[in-house]
Amino acid sequence: MTEYFSIQMPEDEIRAISSIGLAHLGDAVYELLVRTYLCAHGKATGKGLHRATVELVRAPAQAEAAEKILPVLTEEEQAVFRRGRNANVHSIPQHASRSEYQQATALEALFGWLYLRGEKARIEELFARIMEE
């Protein structure tokens, strides 16, 4: 049985996943981290919790988050980030510019890639940097 919360896929299998696939997974990983952060820090309750989550996972906020971690990414992480940023996305939400959406997709792809590699500590490190105030 595969343990999906503790998955660690081989590099060749991860490389076979499209940038959009990595971003799809990374979106869920990132949102789970945001929801956990908000609940653990008592930042919001009820409707406010949903609104706070949406504000942090929207493309403009993710683009800002990406800027915070770019200086500390390894060369390999930078390559995954670029691959995600250059993904061929056909529709962009109205609340985001193309550039913001590309940065958000890159961030999500990176988090998806790290998750599939089983690099939870690195995900935590990058997320902590993003959430620093």
Residue 74, Cβ neighbours under 10 Å: how many? 9
Cβ neighbours of residue 54 closer than 8 Å, sequence gap 6 or more: none
What crossing angle do the helices spanning 19-40 and 98-116 adopt, rounded to 10°? 90
Query: First vs last Cα of the chain: how many Å apart?
Result: 40
Q: At what angle do helices 98-116 and 75-85 cross, to 10 degrees?
A: 130
With beta carbons less than 8 A apart as the criterion, state whether 105 and 85 touch.
yes
Residue 12 known to be catalytic? no
Question: Among the options 27, 77, 100, 108, which is catalytic?
Answer: 27
Distance CA 113, CA 44 (A): 29
What is the set of active-site residues? 27
